[in-house]
Structure 1
Amino acid sequence: MKRITITDVAKLACVSKSTVSQYLNKRYDYMGETTKLRIENAISQLGYQPNIVARSLKQKRSSTIGVIVANILHSFSTKVIRAIEDTCNENDFHVIVCNADDDPVKEEKYIQMLLAKQIDGMAIFPTGGNLALYDSMVKMNYPVVFLDRMIEGVNIDAFLLDNENASNLAVKHLVDRGHTRIGVVTPSIERMVTPRVERLEGFKKALKVHGLPVTNEYIKSMGVDKLQSGLKEMFSLCEKPTALVASNDLTLFEVLKFVKENGLNIPEEIEVVGFDDIPFATVLEPSLSFLSQPAFEMGNKAAERLLEKIEKRDVLFESEIHRFQPTLFQGQLPKN
């Protein structure tokens, strides 16, 4: 079959090729409604499909961004991706999503692949293991933003939660409920991942503010696959904790698994505060308290900033740290 071209559309619509091009690029400022309608009908009648590759080469833009997620299993990450996709869709941009599994080697491969595909920009949940690569993108003024994490000394905008305040809200809630022996479980902080480090530091600071001791035996920071043994050690103590803060959704799963397997009652024997609004929170009896991140707002703002950088590629932007405030929900899910 003969490939339908812009020339065919122009001929059928009785307009010039440049007018059809303006229509395809949504430049309607000096175009009458009847002209637009003729072009629209011609495109429909002929079944014309624009050559995206050719248009990208001509415009020197792919209208595509990449999102590299540290771990796509997190419910927070999924919501942020959805918000980014919504914002990009409104601006006629496509999104390629890559999952790095918190592996710097895998992250580097994805960054190099996306650069090779000449996509217009990236939103990255950084592993922190590719400092030279991050710096090289900054030096070439390549549009990029960080999400959920920031890297010290790297001049890239970061969009993340006020993690210390989130931990403070969790501890205050438990203290107000009468707890004095409060524990925390978090994934390993060996790689100094921002939310893990900040939430743990915020937890310790909050204990001190409320006049409570920082008990190392009540703190378990390790690989998620090892948390069951860590919780077993914690609950083998003579003075067990009466409340726990689970610093993300994956650690919350492990806590609830431990609670079920050991026949513990919530909140009579152990009260739990989780991070991120997990859908099943409301079907538990009693339902859990948790700290909600404004994931959709964070994703929208990060996408808007990235698109601004793409649009103003020649402008040198000063990096900013954008902090968002958490909300404590006591046994209920927020309404989106």
Structure 2
Amino acid sequence: MTKRITIEDVANQAGVSKSTVSQYLNERFDYMGEKTRMKIEKVIKELDYQPNVIARSLKKKSTSTIGVIVANILHAYSTQVIRAIENVCNENGISTIICNADDDSEKEKNYLETLLSKQIDGLIVIPTSGNLEMYNKLISENFPLVFLDRIVDGLDSDTVLLDNKKASELAVDCLYENGHEKIAIVTTSLIDNVTPRVERIQGYKEALKKRHIQINQEYIKGAELSLIKQKLTELFTLSEPPTAIISGNDLTLMEILSYTFDNGIKIGKDIGLITVDEVSFAAIHTPPLTTIVQPTIDMGTKAAEILLEKINNKQTKNKPTIYRYDPSLIVRGSVERVGDRID
């Protein structure tokens, strides 16, 4: 097993003290000569020294700064919760550093290391599933941490998210009441078991069962955004295509709208459509779009309040809690009524 390089190894090879190396790592160069800086930098590269950013972050004084890492900043959800978090933090004299991980665990890890090296006071994260060791280390050290939107197996942390099953149930019920039984659901990739995507499909299946509608696996589509249109083609070329679609999120919605426009499919006439996530153009789209709304401002506010409480009461180590928020339905013109049903 390869020996882990320590700060002492760097100091010995550079011919300086451990405190000097520590000052270099914390960018305290006021009383450090250029030659010493260059020497330490060279040794760090030669030894491939990786500072323990978590340990360093736990030894600091308050910086009145928190980090926010979102999985994908293009989601309306992300920008809305960020706005709420920033509002709460600003009111409490706390600065925020926003990072976008692009659902990439390696990028997320780099941001975690960068933020911790800046000795932030806490973290709010929409996590990937790829950095369990780092998060568990932070949790074990009682570092202020709150998750948003996603639950990751193997991590036990305070989490704020939507009642995703209820969101799907609202969508299915609305479509059913407007005459639909052939209901499809389309969402982004299910490979990483991302909580909202998986739970929304579970809720969709449970809602169909309640209505005594047989589940058709061909009506369930999950794929990377670049493949969504291919999945839509598969749906519309079935011998019995769906009469309505539930869009799992706002990015999926954009692909559906583009596909239907390109193929001359009229929403609200040829196909019923409901999307999870309120989008800014929903009310002015033709026809106006029926949406399942997340209370993003309330959720972002709650996450920030929990984190600030953790920062101000560091010795308190309560059992982690999952906070579920109810979605709401806004019915507009994209839900096509397909006729009366005899029940």
Which TM-score tier does this pair reach, normalised by the shorter chain?
A: 0.7 to 0.9
- The 5 A counterparts of 1:246-265 are 246-265=247-266
Counterpart Cα distance in 1 of 2:316 and 2:181: 52
Q: Which residue of 2 aligns with 1:88?
A: 89
- The 5 A counterparts of 1:31-70 are 60-70=61-71
Deviation at 1:282, TM superposition (A): 1.2
Q: Which residue of 2 aligns with 1:107?
A: 108
Q: Deviations over 1:265-285 (max 9, x none)?
A: 121110100011101111112
Residue 309 of structure 1 aligns with an amino acid whose one-letter code is K
Matched, 1:129 2:130: yes
Matched, 1:74 2:86: no
Matched, 1:153 2:143: no
Number of positions where the alignment pairs a residue of Structure 1 with one of Structure 2? 275
Q: Which residue of 1 aligns with 2:299?
A: 298
Matched, 1:320 2:328: no
* TM-score normalized with structure 1 length: 0.80
Deviation at 1:205, TM superposition (A): 1.0
Residue 178 of structure 1 aligns with an amino acid whose one-letter code is G
Counterpart Cα distance in 2 of 1:73 and 1:317: 33
Whether the 8 Å CA contact 2:219–2:242 is kept in 1: the answer is yes
Deviation at 1:239, TM superposition (A): 1.1
* Aligned-partner SS, 1:298: helix
Residue 228 of structure 1 aligns with an amino acid whose one-letter code is K
Deviation at 1:290, TM superposition (A): 0.6
- The alignment's C-alpha RMSD in Å is 1.3
Q: Percent identity?
A: 47
Q: Which residue of 1 aligns with 2:6?
A: none
* Aligned-partner SS, 2:119: coil
Counterpart Cα distance in 2 of 1:139 and 1:242: 50
Query: Which of structure 1's runs of 4+ aligned residues deviate more than 4 A?
Result: none
Q: Deviations over 1:154-200 (max 9, x none)?
A: 22100000000100000000000000100010111110110010001
* Aligned-partner SS, 2:77: helix
Identify the range of structure 1 (151-160 vs 321-330) with the bigger mean alpha-carbon deviation.
151-160
Whether the 8 Å CA contact 2:132–2:154 is kept in 1: the answer is no
* TM-score normalized with structure 2 length: 0.79
Identify the range of structure 1 (277-286 vs 167-176) with the bigger mean alpha-carbon deviation.
277-286
Deviation at 1:90, TM superposition (A): 0.4
Counterpart Cα distance in 2 of 1:168 and 1:149: 19
* Aligned-partner SS, 1:281: coil
Q: Deviations over 1:203-255 (max 9, x none)?
A: 11111111111111111111111010110011011211100000000000011
Q: Which residue of 2 aligns with 1:230?
A: 231
Q: Which residue of 2 aligns with 1:188?
A: 189
Deviation at 1:331, TM superposition (A): 2.0
Q: Deviations over 1:93-143 (max 9, x none)?
A: 000000000001110111111111100000000001111111000111100
Q: Which residue of 1 aligns with 2:204?
A: 203
Counterpart Cα distance in 2 of 1:294 and 1:128: 24
Q: Deviations over 1:24-48 (max 9, x none)?
A: xxxxxxxxxxxxxxxxxxxxxxxxx
Whether the 8 Å CA contact 2:80–2:296 is kept in 1: the answer is yes
Deviation at 1:152, TM superposition (A): 2.6
Residue 290 of structure 1 aligns with an amino acid whose one-letter code is T
* Structure 2 segments unaligned to the other structure (5+ residues): 1-59, 334-343
Counterpart Cα distance in 1 of 2:296 and 2:278: 10
- The 5 A counterparts of 1:274-289 are 274-289=275-290
Counterpart Cα distance in 1 of 2:117 and 2:319: 26
Identify the range of structure 1 (89-98 vs 217-226) with the bigger mean alpha-carbon deviation.
217-226
Residue 256 of structure 1 aligns with an amino acid whose one-letter code is L
Counterpart Cα distance in 1 of 2:275 and 2:225: 15
Q: Which residue of 1 aligns with 2:214?
A: 213
Counterpart Cα distance in 1 of 2:276 and 2:210: 21
Residue 243 of structure 1 aligns with an amino acid whose one-letter code is A
* Structure 1 segments unaligned to the other structure (5+ residues): 1-58
Counterpart Cα distance in 1 of 2:69 and 2:210: 37
- The 5 A counterparts of 1:140-179 are 140-179=141-180
Counterpart Cα distance in 1 of 2:199 and 2:164: 6
Residue 98 of structure 1 aligns with an amino acid whose one-letter code is C
Q: Deviations over 1:6-28 (max 9, x none)?
A: xxxxxxxxxxxxxxxxxxxxxxx
Counterpart Cα distance in 2 of 1:284 and 1:110: 37
Counterpart Cα distance in 2 of 1:89 and 1:136: 28
* Aligned-partner SS, 2:96: strand
